[in-house]
Amino acid sequence: MKPHNLLRRARALPPSGKIGLALVTFWIIAAIVGPFVTPYPPGSFVSEEVFAGASSRFWFGSDYLGRDVLSRLLTGAQFTVGLSAIAVTLAVTAGTGLALTAAVGPRWLDELLSRAMDTLISIPSKIFALVLVAAFGSSLVLLTLIVSITYVPGNFRIARSLAVGLARLDYVEVARARGEGRLHIALVEMLPNMIRPLFADIGLRFVFIVLLLSGLSFLGLGLQPPDADLGSLVRENVSGLGEGALAILVPATAIASLTVGVNLLIDAATQGGKG
Amino acid sequence: MNRTAPHVEVRNLCVTVRGPDGGPLRIVNDVSFDVARGEMLALIGESGSGKTTIALSLMGYGRGGARISGDIRVGEAHLAGQGGASLGAQRGHRITYVAQSAAAAFNPSRRVIDQVIEPALIHRTASAASARARAVELFRALALPDPETIGNRYPHELSGGQLQRLMAAMALITKPDLVIFDEPTTALDVTTQVEVLQAFRKVVRDQGATGVYVSHDLAVVAQMADQILVLNRGRVREQNSVGRILEEPADDYTRMLIAAANPVVEARGPGVRAKAPLLTIDGVFAGYGAVDKAGRPAHPVLSDVSLSVGRGAAVGVIGESGSGKSTVARVVAGLLAPTAGTVSLDGTPLAPMVGGRTREQLRRIQIVFQNADVALNPAHSVEDILGRVLRFYHGMNRVDAQRRVAELLDLIRLPANVAGRRCDELSGGQKQRVNLARALAAEPDLILCDEVTSALDTVVRGAILDLLADLRRDLGVAYLFISHDIATVKALCDEIVVLYRGTRVESGLCESYAAAPYHPYTDLLISSVPEMRTDWLADETAVARAPFAHMGERPDLCRFLPRCPMAMANICDVLPPPRRTMSAGNAVLCHRTEEDLVP
């Protein structure tokens, strides 16, 4: 894809898509450059007042320990955006890959994979995460793996139903009659026609992952201090909820704007033109 | 109301949609016509001629945000500029619609009778009881079996032809001013089409209904309509009575439509029949579902089918839906393993499935599916599709493949700039050409054509048939040509095999199908093809009732027995039928002798 093509496509997006694109771009930039432009070190106690309101010194006020919320937000964004993006990529690659294997492979393999996924889907995600974190201790790698494994079955189910439908179409039959291998049928004939619904699924799953990561952090199972993602920021400042502190509103709004942005963009991009 | 004024009056009708460039695009341009009370007007033209758009605009409906302008008057109601409630009062009450596919138009989870009387209940034209009584009356008029109880069934329990007639009953239940028939028999088998047409014509006459009949088939329209309006690209080419249109068409386009309805293929094959056949299918049994211990599948489709195709020959396989004709192609292509019997190419038996065949064997047999919309991958460009075949079978590099793609496009008479386009940007006829080019790219000896012309309208069909005949002459490729349309098969093939419920009931040279004797089923097929004259369709089926209509099928007996008007007691229902060779050379699977079969 050439850059000017991307630009033209971006211009053709409906207004909702442009808003989504702006939000997503903002968060990607925030995740990349955020840690370098913090006004204060994210862990240092810089304000005498806890849950302070917005001021020229602290744009988003201070948190429950008197740390700068803006600095913590800029440092936390990389974890939420980065971890979620990696986890969703892993989950969708694994889910769709297995789904295509099931669709073009022998029947017993399809059964085996489908039942394995059913088993996985029946384990509550938080309990699953809790058990693994308890067993191995919390780390970035483990967290990413847990979160992606949790969302493989959902993507598998959607991709498999798409692939099984496509497998019956005439153009796949033609490829089969030509003597094409299973890999070609899966990747060249089927996958390009699954992209649009898969992208919609990616959007949904990204939101789930952000929420699960935030949820885990909220329970104290996610990122461990001193690191903090957006979910941890909400959790640690939960005592400020009663007074409507900026320290809790800002990270919560951040999570919302990220997930809404991703979905606006994906919806707009998959509706018009090609996904 | 003025008695002399026409019942339906359309003046300066224009329909505008948003074009691909975003600007307005007129798809119906300044169309005016009248329909007198009790008359049937046919709208005829190729796809894209605007015939369905005009029919729908008579209900004040524009598909996909189309804008309708002009005057439309039906009975005493003016439709132009109306909307919302007043339009709703007309639709389904004063103006009703019979769709092409009744199978898709009925709600599968509700009983048919409830759906048939629904318009009467919604518009409060009758009580439920009297609507039911009228429905039963209409069922009887439409020659539906068990008119009293058929309505209690669900749509999946009824055949396509029955559903189409039930849909007509639904359209007539409110005694409408205008009934719109939108290609109501196009999706039906030719034998079913006759019954449905008879029923439609009778009920329309009995009820004195005024109708608009949309079709691309002049022969069908000749049976149904009083007036014909010929359309091309949203413009009226000609309007006249049926007789005048058929006998003295004034417009060139009408003449072309009439010519295309009777396909005549100029270029016949070499005519030399080599001794050793290219493809031999010997005693093939096949079906779907689990195979039991005796080797019979749960849903048997083909039983003991044999045929052979010579090098450069064209063999037609014909039959109605459910005859197993597409299954023959799937077995030959190696997509379905036969449970018994063999398929051989040049005397070498082929492995039952694709996986067991060599790439060279696969290359020599190519399959072309009916529906180019789903046979071509929408994610790929024409060049990708053709290039893949070239790389796969001939190991061509990119440059050679590009050159060959251009040659192939030239061969199928498409402009070279099509190569870069995706298939969803092509027209139906262009797609079918690309579909054919993909098979040609492999340089095969045999192409399996599965209903390749069925989804096309008559003019395009004629062009594709010409192309097939030319390719055969120039490249020496053989065809196994599968179709439900005997006129198409006769135009292209030298040999014809007739399948009925998976058995070969007749086979022979094309010429032997010109006149009787043939199998009673072949007779039914041939006599069911509408002819282009107004008096072709009889009011009642002249054929005697089949004496064994009550009998279920038994695998060893003649499969056609329950429908056969010529069946003999104590023979046909006891013994399996023998294969007789007629003097014209055609082999017929029937107890009747040659003398019996000549009417």
Q: pLDDT digit string (tens) for A81-109?
A: 888 889 999 999 999 999 999 988 888 99
Q: Indicate the helix (H) or strand (E) that contains B410.
A: helix B398-411
Q: Which of B334, B359, B380 sits opposite A177 (nearest CB)?
A: B334
Q: How many CA atoms lie within 13 A of B449 on its CB side?
A: 33
Confidence of residue B541 (pLDDT cuts 50, 70, 90): low
Q: Where are the domains of chain B?
A: 36-56+89-261, 279-501, 515-599
Q: B438 contacts in A (CB within 8 Å)?
A: 174
**CATH code at A255?**
1.10.3720.10
Tokens of A46: 């810089």
Of B525, B445, B28, B58, nearest in space to B231 by CA? B28
- A168 in B contact zone (CB under 8 Å): no
Average pLDDT over residues B63-73: 78
Tokens of B542: 């002249």
Q: Which residues of B touch A (CB under 8 A)?
A: 333-335, 354, 357, 359, 362, 366-367, 369, 371, 374-380, 388-389, 392-393, 438, 442
Count of helices and strands (H, E) across chain A: 11, 0
Residue B323 contacts residue B500 (beta carbons within 8 Å): yes
**Between B135 and A244, residue with greater pLDDT:** B135
DSSP state letter for A187? I
- A9 in B contact zone (CB under 8 Å): no
Cβ within 8 Å, pair B371-A178: no
Per residue in B277-336, pLDDT (tens digit) is: 899 999 899 888 888 777 778 888 888 899 989 888 899 999 888 788 889 999 999 988
Cβ within 8 Å, pair A170-B442: no
- pTM of structure: 0.79
DSSP state letter for A123? S
The tally of domains found in chain A comes to 1
Q: A165 is in which domain, residue-wise? A: 16-33+71-271
- From the candidates B371, B377, B381, B440, which should be mutated to test the interface with A, based on the most A CB atoms within 10 A? B377
Count of helices and strands (H, E) across chain B: 21, 22
Q: Is B279-501 a domain of CATH 3.40.50.300? A: yes
- Residue range B36-56+89-261 forms a domain whose CATH class is alpha beta
d(CA B444, CA B431): 20
The yes-or-no verdict on residue B2 having pLDDT over 70 is no
| B279-501 shares the fold of B36-56+89-261 | yes
Q: Which stretches of chain A score pLDDT less than 70?
A: 1-4, 271-275
- A107 in B contact zone (CB under 8 Å): no
Beta-carbon contacts of A184 under 8 Å, excluding residues fewer than 6 positions away, are: A175
Amino acid at B492: L
Q: Which of A171, A178, A195 sits opposite B377 (nearest CB)?
A: A171
Average pLDDT over residues B349-366: 90
Cβ within 8 Å, pair B379-A170: no
Q: Indicate the helix (H) or strand (E) that contains B478.
A: strand B478-483
- A180 in B contact zone (CB under 8 Å): yes
d(CA A40, CA A74): 10
Chain A and chain B share a number of CB contacts under 8 A equal to 46
- A171 in B contact zone (CB under 8 Å): yes
Would residue A153 count as lying in a domain?
yes
Would residue A134 count as lying in a domain?
yes
d(CA B494, CA B314): 6
Would residue A48 count as lying in a domain?
no
Give the distance, in angstroms, between the CA of residue B339 and the centroid of all CA atoms in the same chain: 30
d(CA B239, CA B242): 9
Cβ within 8 Å, pair A170-B374: yes
The yes-or-no verdict on residue B543 having pLDDT over 60 is no
Cβ within 8 Å, pair B335-A174: no
What does pLDDT average to over chain B?
A: 83
Provide the 3-class DSSP secondary structure of residue B29.
strand
Q: What is the pLDDT of residue A274?
A: 40
d(CA B527, CA A159): 49
CA distance A108 to chain B (A): 15
CA distance B153 to chain A (A): 30
Residue B111 contacts residue B128 (beta carbons within 8 Å): no
Per residue in B116-130, pLDDT (tens digit) is: 998 888 888 888 889
Looking up tokens 């509700």 gives: B110
Q: What is the pLDDT of residue B459?
A: 78
d(CA B45, CA B232): 6
Q: What angle do CA A143, A34, A241 make, to 5 degrees?
A: 70
Of B303, B272, B599, B331, nearest in space to B480 by CA? B331
Write the ipTM. 0.75
Q: What is the pLDDT of residue B272?
A: 52
Per residue in A186-224, pLDDT (tens digit) is: 888 899 888 888 888 888 888 888 888 877 877 777 777
